[in-house]
Structure 1
Amino acid sequence: MESNKPTVPTLYDWAGGMPAFVTLFDQFYDKVLADDILEPVFKHMSAEHRLHVAHFVAEVLGGPKIYSESEGSHFKMIQKHLSKHLSEAHRKRWMELLLQTADELQLPDDPEFRSAFLAYLEWGTRIAVINSDMAETNEPADAPMPKWGWGVPGGPYIP
């Protein structure tokens, strides 16, 4: 029996696919490097950083596994934040500039997409701040990449 129910796109597809994420993070990191709060944290980032973050976020939101298959893993992403001592001011400014860039690039602004997109960014940046105050992680090296969709993530976070 064939279903006439329309297929729900991934957040990745709804946002515009990889070109949207590459452009988003490229323009976003231009803002970061011009920002008094964030520039000191990111001034020594590698030339590939922008693209790695674009690939990571795209994969989490349902895109191709470019990050996990050729650039890193969730464990490696966690390690990049260890001992960085990020503050809530850093997190909030990172969020503010990224959402500002999303608006400027006219990423979808429907309530469903923005709710899911913002929920992932809130979750991910808060995890980054928690990890940034640790010298090592107890996360297993084979921890799966997060998968974020249109719904809610589940129960409470327990470090």
Structure 2
Amino acid sequence: MEKNIPTLYEWTGGDETLQRLFRLFYDKVLQDEILGPVFRTMSQDHPRHVAHFVGEVFGGPAQYTAEDKGSHAIMIAHHIGKMLDEHQRQRWIQLLLTTADEIGIPDDPEFRSSLLGYLEWGSRIAVINSQQTENPVGETEPMPRWGWGETGGPYVPK
């Protein structure tokens, strides 16, 4: 018997939910004493782009690559030279998970383990790449994919 297993994108609630999550999250980030200075110059479109990126990674439509003209390399490029640290990384995850709870993102253990796995993976890559002076990812690098118990890696920075 074949099961219709929803993607993480569908389970999250799709684009509307991701847009709401990242809009509220980045409002908090801008007010945060640890993260605010890092993001104070972000574009007004940043929350939308991140929602599109995460949506695509979670099995949703290719809005980041098609509509936003983004790529994995472009996302990585946004972190180059930012010199992020572990304290900032942990605060970023904490604020995002708090916002997810506040707006009612699904809290079942299976989904949350996939979400947290992705946040850990992606935020650690962001910290590593923030120490770089050049983008270690080429334009042909595929977008990461994340699913139920599946990771988008391996990713090994140069």
Tell me if both proteins adopt one fold, taking TM over 0.5 as the criterion: yes
Query: Which of 35, 42, 52 lines up with 2:49 in the alignment?
Result: 52
Return the alpha-carbon distance in structure 1 between the equivalents of residues 137 and 124 of structure 2: 16
Letter in 2 for 1:125: S
3-state SS in 2 of match to 1:102: helix
Q: 1:155 to 1:144 in 2, by over 3 A?
A: closer
Which runs of structure 2 are paired with 1:13-92 in the superposition (5 Å)?
Answer: 13-71=10-68, 72-92=70-90
1:45-104 CA deviation, whole Å, 9 max, x = no partner?
001001000100111001110101121110000011000000111100000000000000
What RMSD over aligned residues (CA atoms) do the two structures have, in Å?
1.4
Task: Report how far residue 115 of structure 1 moved.
Answer: 0.3
Q: Residues 155 and 128 from structure 1, CA distance in 2 versus in 1: closer, same or farther, beyond 3 angstroms?
A: closer
How many residues were matched structurally? 156
Mark the runs of 5 or more structure 1 residues left unpaired by the alignment.
none
Structure label with greater radius of gyration: 1
- Cα distance between partner residues in 2 of 1:86 and 1:148: 24
Distance in 1 separating the partners of 2:101 and 2:12: 12
Q: TM-score, normalised by structure 1?
A: 0.94
Q: Between the two proteins, what is the percent identity of the paired residues?
A: 57
Match of 1:5 in 2: 2
Change (3 A) 1:35 1:144: same
Which portions of structure 1, spanning 4 or more consecutive aligned residues, are displaced by more than 4 angstroms?
154-157
For 1:18, the aligned partner's letter is D
TM-score by length of 2: 0.94
CA–CA distance in structure 2, aligned partners of residues 156 and 50 of structure 1:
26
